[in-house]
């Protein structure tokens, strides 16, 4: 028997290329779930693209109201947990890590712009873990791409089979509404941006005369032709293909106008998977297991220098988490108990007594945790699925204030534990190199080192733009490689050797020269 507490949980993330409508859709879900009363309550986590102080200000506010990192609410007897991801592309790695803590995702695509760069990257991360994906085509109130063309584009660029479960009637200024293919009802377009309105017309099928009360004959005919074609091309939904991450149901709508939201939310809670088994290095961990286990996927710093504590976000994988109980920190080999674990219901944080698989609890942390750490009831486990990815920019840290060397070292250590960027220690000379996805991360590191640790540093840009984690079945060969390529070898925080290269060409050459060495694009390999 599956525990009903686990079965009712739906933990997911809404992801998109910036500006496609992720924040708006999140907010509308919260409105439907009754977690907020008016639109505009969810803080936008978008930074002005080039302005660091703006960004830091937003981060500061977010740091205070950490509740926005996880938004839990009850909807139709289900407990929904939406995990928030940063909007800015320079923080993509934070998003990738958050995706390790969800059971499914909703991917938002702008119908005018189609599949964008970040959409493709996010999808490839979902594919790595076979995460089930539902696609929401947003902004149907705008003159965008024709739906069938858009589906072709999504299928090709995202390399996934699709199954439309709703279909738009018109688009842009002729947008009339969406027809739910999944449960045969018609939802008419009634733009209301601030509250939830129900304008659903139940029809038996597309031959129902009642449709003509709302749509012109030509519109009904157009809808019949379209849905026939949809049925012929895409067929019926195969739920197991969806839960295996091989097929994505598609919905159309307009988030800002509250439109198509109910269709996607209602279907989502019906078909989206509840928490499932998780892979650990040692074994697979089942959700129904009696013993508690969980892992840290995000650490949120308190940006107020007077309160240095951080909040570690723990995703529960099995058993029941309880307040004030000792748990085993498997990396540090010590026991910890938490007297004020936080829950994030209705966009507010409160102390939680117990939590179940699928839930995320916030733990006050004074420096015990780093990303990927596992807690259990005593078993030595290490959950998989939180790899580091190859950064794009590498810079060497140069200390600007020798009197504050210790503070600088501590700051770099802690910030990279939090996952702000990656740290590589170059073999000759113990030089510290920071690897990041974007420039903004370096600015954030400088700012925080100065404001939180009182340390000053300069970053010297290096020519590298790729990193590959290197392994070999032959230890001697690996040692030899590391020795020969000394100048290009950094050691990551786990102690693994990493080969840093200027470009793909250089990597290909090295691969050819060292056939016994394996080169990995992420830090997780087996
Ligand atoms: P993001 O989190 O994915 O970055 O996107 P966000 O929800 O912030 O939406 C980006 C912009 O798109 C916002 O406009 C938002 O109002 C608009 N938008 C969202 N859904 C729809 C939709 O269904 N139709 C149309 N036409 N626009 C939509 P903005 O001008 O950047 O911000 P704001 O001034 O409206 O707050």
In which element (H, E) is residue 121 found?
helix 117-128
Q: Following DSSP, what letter does each residue of 309-357 receive, concatenated?
A: -EEEEEEEEES-EETT-EEEETTTTEEEE-SS-EEEETTEEEE-SEE-T
CB 246 within 8 A of CB 88: no
Protein residue with least CA distance to atom 6, ligand 1: 21
273 annotated binding-site participant:
no
pLDDT band at residue 50, thresholds of 50, 70 and 90?
Answer: very low
Distance of alpha carbon 235 from alpha carbon 249, whole angstroms: 11
Q: Which residue has the higher pLDDT, 54 or 327?
A: 327
Residues 77-126: pLDDT tens digits?
999 999 988 767 777 788 888 999 999 999 999 999 999 988 998 898 89
The residue whose two tokens read 């991801």 is 85
Q: Please report the pLDDT score of residue 440 as a whole number.
A: 82
Give the Å distances, CA to CA, from 257 to 21, 114, 411. 11, 19, 45
Q: What percent of the chain has pLDDT over 70?
A: 88
157 to 58, 123, 152, 239, 309: CA distances (angstroms): 33, 10, 8, 22, 43
Q: Which domains does the chain have, with CATH numbers?
A: 4-173+234-276 (3.40.50.300), 279-376 (3.40.50.300), 393-520 (3.30.70.3280)
Q: What is the pLDDT of residue 54?
A: 56
Q: Once rounded to an integer, what is the mean pLDDT over residues 499-517? A: 97
User: Among 134-148, 169-183, 245-259, 495-509, whose mean pLDDT is lowest?
Assistant: 169-183
Cα–Cα distance, 11 to 229 (Å, whole number): 33
Is 86 labelled a binding residue? Answer: yes
Q: Please compute the mean of the pLDDT values over residues 478-485 and round it to a whole number.
A: 96
Judge whether residue 44 has pLDDT over 80: no
Going by C-alpha positions, the residue among 184, 181, 182, 175 that lies closest to residue 210 is: 184
Residue appearing with tokens 């149901």 = 249
- Please, are residues 141 and 175 in contact by the beta-carbon 8 Å criterion? yes
Q: Does the pLDDT at position 188 exceed 80? A: no
Of 335-344, 347-356, 474-483, where does mean pLDDT reach its minimum?
347-356
Tens digits of residue pLDDT in 347-387: 667 889 999 999 999 999 888 999 999 999 999 999 987 88
Residue 22 CA to ligand 1 center (angstroms) comes to: 8
Mutate to test the pocket of ligand 1, among 14, 20, 24 (most ligand atoms within 8 A of CB): 24
Give the residues surrounding ligand 1 with Cβ less than 6 Å away.
16, 18-24, 44, 46, 87, 138-139, 141-142, 254-257
**pLDDT for 65 beyond 50:** no
> Residue 302 pLDDT more than 70?
no
Decide if 165 contacts 182 (C-beta within 8 A): yes
> Is 16 annotated among the ligand-binding residues?
yes
> Is 22 assigned a ligand-binding role in the annotation?
yes
Ligand 1, closest atom to CA 25? Answer: 7
The encoded tokens of residue 330 equal 């498997």
pLDDT band of 67, cuts 50, 70, 90: very low
| DSSP notation for 344-356 | EETTEEEE-SEE-
Q: Is the pLDDT of residue 424 over 70?
A: yes
Rounded to the nearest angstrom, the distance between the alpha carbon of 24 and the centre of ligand 1 is 6
Cα 42 to Cα 470: distance, rounded to the nearest angstrom: 43
Closest-CA residue to 93 (of 499, 491, 419): 419
Is 149 annotated as contributing to ligand binding?
no
CA of 261 to the centre of ligand 1 (A): 15
Counting ligand 1 atoms within 8 A of each CB, the residue from 31, 87, 194, 256 with the most, and so the one to mutate, is: 256
Torsion of CA 393, 121, 159, 139, to 10 degrees: -140
The pLDDT value recorded for residue 61 is: 54
Closest ligand 1 atom, CA of 142?
26
Residue 94 counted as an annotated binding residue: no
Q: Would you say 85 is a known binding-site residue?
A: yes
- How many other CB atoms are found less than 10 A from the CB of residue 316? 26
* Cβ contact 166:253 at 8 Å: yes
* Residue 80 CB partners (closer than 8 Å, separation 6+): 10, 11, 12, 29, 33, 72, 73, 74, 269
Give the ligand 1 atom nearest the CA of 26. Answer: 7
- Its ipTM equals 0.97
Candidates 391, 462, 404; CA nearest to 432 is: 462
- Sheet architecture: strand order including 166-169: 166-169, 177-180, 185-188, 200-202
Instruction: Name which residue leads in pLDDT, 488 or 30.
Output: 488
User: What does the pLDDT look like over 496-505, one tens digit per residue?
Assistant: 999 999 999 9
The minimum-distance atom of ligand 1 relative to the CA of 24 is 7
The string of pLDDT tens digits covering residues 244-272 is 999 999 999 999 888 888 889 999 999 99
At residue 8, what are phi and psi to the nearest 5 degrees?
Answer: -80, -5
Q: Nearest C-alpha to atom 31 of ligand 1 is from which residue? A: 19
């Amino acid at each position: 028997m599956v525990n009903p507490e686990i079965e009712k949980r739906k933990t997911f993330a809404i992801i998109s290329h910036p500006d496609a409508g992720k924040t708006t859709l999140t907010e509308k879900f919260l409105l439907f779930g009754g977690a907020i009363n008016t639109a505009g309550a969810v803080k936008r986590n978008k930074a002005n693209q080039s302005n660091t102080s703006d960004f830091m200000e937003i981060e500061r506010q977010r740091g205070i109201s950490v509740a926005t990192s996880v938004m839990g609410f009850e909807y139709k007897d289900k407990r929904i947990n939406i995990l928030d991801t940063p909007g800015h592309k320079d923080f993509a790695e934070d998003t990738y890590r958050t995706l390790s803590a969800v059971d499914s995702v909703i991917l938002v695509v702008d119908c005018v712009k189609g599949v964008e760069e970040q959409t493709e990257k996010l999808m490839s991360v979902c594919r790595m873990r076979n995460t089930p994906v539902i696609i929401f085509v947003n902004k149907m109130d705008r003159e965008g791409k024709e739906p069938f063309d858009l589906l072709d584009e999504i299928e090709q660029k995202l390399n996934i089979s699709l199954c439309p479960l709703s279909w738009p009637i018109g688009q842009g200024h002729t947008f009339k509404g969406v027809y739910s293919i999944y449960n045969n009802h018609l939802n008419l377009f009634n733009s209301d941006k601030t509250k939830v309105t129900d304008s659903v017309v139940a029809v038996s099928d597309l031959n129902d005369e009642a449709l003509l009360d709302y749509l012109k004959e030509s519109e009904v005919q157009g809808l019949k032709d379209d849905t026939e074609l949809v049925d012929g091309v895409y067929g019926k939904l195969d739920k197991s293909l969806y839960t295996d991450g091989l097929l994505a149901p598609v919905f159309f709508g307009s988030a800002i106008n509250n439109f198509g939201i109910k269709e996607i939310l209602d279907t989502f809670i019906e078909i989206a998977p509840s928490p499932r088994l998780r892979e650990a290095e040692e074994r697979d961990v089942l959700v129904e297991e009696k013993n508690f286990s969980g892992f840290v996927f995000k650490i949120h710093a308190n940006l107020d220098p007077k309160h240095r504590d951080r909040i570690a976000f723990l995703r529960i994988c099995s058993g029941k988490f309880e307040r004030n109980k000792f748990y085993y920190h498997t990396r540090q080999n010590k026991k910890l108990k938490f007297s004020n674990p936080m829950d994030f219901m209705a966009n507010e944080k409160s102390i939680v007594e117990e939590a179940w698989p699928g839930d995320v609890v916030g733990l006050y942390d004074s420096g015990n945790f780093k990303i990927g750490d596992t807690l259990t009831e005593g078993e030595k486990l290490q959950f998989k699925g939180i790899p580091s990815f190859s950064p794009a920019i590498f810079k060497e840290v140069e200390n600007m204030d020798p009197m504050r060397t210790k503070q600088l070292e501590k700051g770099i250590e802690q910030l990279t534990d939090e996952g702000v960027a990656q740290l590589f220690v170059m073999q000759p000379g113990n030089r510290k190199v920071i690897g990041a996805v974007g420039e903004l991360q370096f600015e954030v590191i400088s700012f925080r080192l100065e404001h939180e640790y009182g340390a000053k540093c300069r970053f010297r840009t290096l020519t590298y733009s790729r990193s590959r984690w290197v392994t070999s079945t032959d230890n001697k060969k690996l040692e030899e490689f590391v020795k020969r390529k000394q100048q290009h070898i950094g050691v990551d925080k786990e102690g693994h050797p990493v080969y840093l290269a200027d470009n793909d060409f250089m990597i290909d050459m090295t691969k050819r020269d060292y056939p016994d060495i394996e080169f990995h694009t992420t830090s997780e390999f087996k």
